[in-house]
Structure 1
Amino acid sequence: MSHPVHDANESSPYGDLTREEFYKKHQILHKESFMLNQQNMKIFTQSWRPNSTLQLEGLVAMEHGYNSESSWLFELTAVAIAKAGFLVCAIDLQGHGYSDSLPGHIPNIEPIVCDCIQFFDSIKVDHPKLPAFIYGESLGGAIAILVCLKQKREWNGLILNGSMCGISAKFKPTWPLEKLLPVAAFLAPTWKIRYPNTPKIIQGVEEEISCENPNCKASGKPPMANTLELLRVSEYIRRHCHELEVTMLMVHGEDDVVCDYRSARFVYESAASEDKILKIFPSMLHQLIGEPMENVELVYGFILSWLGDRANKAKSTVSEVQESNVPYY
């Protein structure tokens, strides 16, 4: 494969092309819209699919991480998956991208999980015969896990890329703030924690592209309420990951200093899934899309190969069930 990120330059993920020219080059049909969630907020949604009459291989629902959005760098992976024959859909989390709410403010993850289920279910209803997969990066990985815990048998596969199964000690508040965090979050929920040395999470030209994103609402420093909630979510996943039964692929950089790969390994080992794979990539950072070209091809080539294989297996299983239900005369 050739990931579209290789066409990017320092100022744009689309290189020297406009967004429309970029889609035309990669033969992708793109749609975007807003939905009203249960809180009457406007949530930005979009989808990508190959501009082809060939039958779709499956559906992939994508969830971005904190301080990101479904456009810009994240959508390059959506385009890569769509080019492989999949219908891809994604939302901007509350407080991110074009969606409503305070910038980057996530005091409670539950409404965001509900947003994802609301939108993804609406897409699945329109395409009931397509195998459905859910893909999450970083915080989006944690949200994808929570969705699968709620919808235990409604997904054909879960893909976790640098997922937040646990937060690295380098990104946790220092003592004694961590102990006082519940009080601090209550008194000053939007006050942002400062870290003396922020570890590197992405490298190369992609680091410069991230800084050029004109629609980035959140800063890299999470508010107090966010930090408390993300720690709570990580602990919840740790206590409930043994309930995961979904077919699962986890990829993680060994040098990830945001979401520790050892926490991902714990989730992998604990999950009840019969079909599960964990791939730890040595010397790679948190955002794998920012790796050198050969590493990007290795990681995302592995993801697409797994996705295509599991989509074919899911379709074969459905065909076998349908054939077994044909009445005999």
Structure 2
Amino acid sequence: MDLTLTSRFLPPPEPPLLLRKCGAPTVLRRWPSTNRNFPAPRRTHLAITAKKRAVIEGVSDEMNAIASQNLDFAPARRRVRSAFSEVQQQLDHCLFKMAPSGIREEEWYERNSRGLEIFCKSWLPKPGVRIKGALCFCHGYGDTCTFFFEGIAKHIAASGYGVYAVDHPGFGLSEGLHGYIPSFDHLVDNVIEQCAKIKGRPEVRGLPCFLLGQSMGGAVALKANLKAPWDWDGVVLVAPMCKISEDVTPPEPAVKALTLLSRVMPKAKLVPPKDLAELAFRDSKKRKMASYNVICYSDPVRLKTAVELLKTTKSIESQVQKVSSPLLILHGAADRVTDPLVSRFLYENASSKDKTLKLYEGGYHSILEGEPDDRIFTVLNDIISWLDSRCSLK
């Protein structure tokens, strides 16, 4: 049974009692709980070179060779995406097989204020369908908006929304060193900048505008909302990354050492974490399809990126009381990538008068991509229903 908590136009509840149990994304290294001192040097490994990509089943040796090339820079990622685009759309996944027809798609690049080419994409309802509002998507760590989100966007667009997405700098088809986050605020500022342009597009000008953030993208969406709270009519968060638990937070000496190292060799890569597909996808058939996300960043986490993720979650944790926009928070109750207690912590501490938390029993991290078909469409319908009810108030 799915659990839904909702609070609309009510004062915020008291803080939870079990805050220390809130979890954190596994992109950060788990430190031994029995030893809070900095690990011995032999336990600290740095990898500068990329790991070899696993063979993708069901495609030719030639396609595997294309997928295994160095993806540090955007031109290579764009070539690989182009080669795999048609193959991805033919996967036996409900998001693709049952995608609505007639959706209008557009892709383009915008040069941001830092001089980087940012990949942008839109999905609009078929001609004749009234557009109710705009939804801007922030993807998660290592991900892109050109794989599974394509199917998600089409379903939401078919319900009367203009859906827009950008690849963060350094990810997907946008410029920047792959997987490198020199400043998390740069990601946030880029979203604010690109969404400002999107809201000026003629098809959605003057309509309600919402943010949708998934995993790390949830942290981006929250920070964007904290910086510019009046820019959006509501925020939808899917398994958001917004708090670190004591169990996985590195001890303070380790954080200081990582920070110092990141200043000397910020682009160096850490030992890779456990394969997240195993933890994120409950449906084993869909889990195998994750390997087709060929331009995702799957190498070890870069030093500066790890430090920025740590800093960001601490910053969000200290500011959740300032979150005042309408909130819809969605989380799999069995998520081991970002702990659902994190979402409960956000729900109970945000000052939003209009807020809803939905926990899906047995759900893993990727509740929009990796669950059984009926669960995926339940989550999608929950998002659409929430958007519809807020747009009807306008």
The answer to whether residue 125 in structure 2 is matched with residue 50 in structure 1 is yes
| Deviation (angstroms), 1:39 | 1.1
Matched, 1:68 2:148: no
The aligned runs of 1:42-191 (5 Å cut-off) are 42-126=117-201, 127-167=204-244, 177-178=254-255, 180-191=257-268
Distance 1:90 1:241, change over 3 A: same
- Tell whether 2:353 aligns with 1:270: no
Distance 1:186 1:42 in 2: 26
Give the Cα–Cα distance (whole angstroms) in 2 for the partners of residues 312 and 10 of structure 1.
Answer: 46
How far apart, in 2, do the equivalents of 1:300 and 1:56 lie? 18
- Shift of residue 107, structure 1, vs aligned partner: 2.3
CA, structure 1 residues 245+125, in 2 after alignment: closer, same or farther (shift >3 Å)?
Answer: same
Query: How far did 1:184 drift?
Result: 2.7
1:206 counterpart SS class: helix
Distance 1:107 1:170 in 2: 26
Helix, strand or coil: the match of 1:290? coil
Whichever residue aligns with residue 310 of structure 1, its letter is R
Change (3 A) 1:279 1:116: same
Aligned 8 A contact 1:170 1:258 in 2: no
1:72 deviates by: 0.7
* CA positional deviation for 1:175: 9.3
Matches within 5 A, 1:206-217: 206-216=286-296
For the aligned residues, what is the CA RMSD? 2.5
Mapped partners of 2:206, 2:274: distance in 1: 49
Write the letter of the residue equivalent to 2:120. T
Matched residue SS, 2:198: helix
**Alpha carbons of structure 1 residues 31 and 164: separation in structure 2 relative to 1, 3 Å:** same
Matches of 1:22 and 1:123, distance apart in 2: 29
Aligned length, in residue pairs: 302
User: Take 1:152 and 1:111, find their aligned partners in 2: how far apart are those partners?
Assistant: 18
Between the two structures, name the one with larger relative contact order (CA 8 Å, sep ≥ 6).
Answer: 2
1:71 and 1:118 map into 2 onto residues whose CA distance is: 20
- Runs of 5+ in structure 2 lacking a partner? 1-56, 60-86
Q: Name 1:237's counterpart in structure 2.
A: 316
- Give me the whole-angstrom Cα distance separating, in 1, the residues matched to 2:349 and 2:266: 33
Residue in 2 that maps onto 1:261 = 340
Looking at structure 2, the residues matched to 65 and 163 of structure 1 have their Cα atoms a distance apart, in angstroms, of 9
Per-residue deviation at 1:210?
Answer: 2.1
Gaps of 5+ in 1: 1-8, 316-329
Q: Cα distance, 1:256 vs. partner?
A: 1.7
How far residue 310 of structure 1 moved from its aligned partner, in angstroms, is 1.4
Could you tell me how far apart the structure 2 residues matched to 1:301 and 1:49 are?
A: 18
Percent of aligned pairs sharing the same letter: 30
Which is further off, 285-294 or 195-204?
195-204
Quote how far apart the aligned CAs of 1:170 are: 7.8
8 Å contact from structure 1 (residues 44, 92) kept in 2: yes
Q: Does 1:219 align with 2:294?
A: no
Letter of the 1:297 counterpart: F
**Displacement, 1:211?**
0.9
- Cα deviation 1:2-52 (Å, max 9, x = unaligned): xxxxxxx987542269xxx98996210000100111111101001000112
Provide the TM-score with structure 2 as the length reference: 0.71
1:173/1:193 contact within 8 Å kept: no
Counterpart check, 1:294 vs 2:343: no
Mapped partners of 1:168, 1:287: distance in 2: 21
CA contact (8 A) 1:166 1:260 kept: no
1:224-266 superposed Cα distances (whole Å, 9 cap, x missing partner): 1111111111111111111111010000112222222222221
Contact conserved, 2:272 with 2:301, CA < 8 A, in 1? no
Per the alignment, residue 311 of structure 1 pairs with 391
Shift of 1:88: 0.6
The 8 Å contact of residues 201 and 257 in structure 1, kept in 2 or not, is answered as yes
Amino acid across the alignment from 2:350: A
Task: Give the SS at the match of 1:153.
Answer: helix
State the distance in 1 between where 2:176 and 2:273 align: 28
- Structure with the bigger percentage of helix: 1
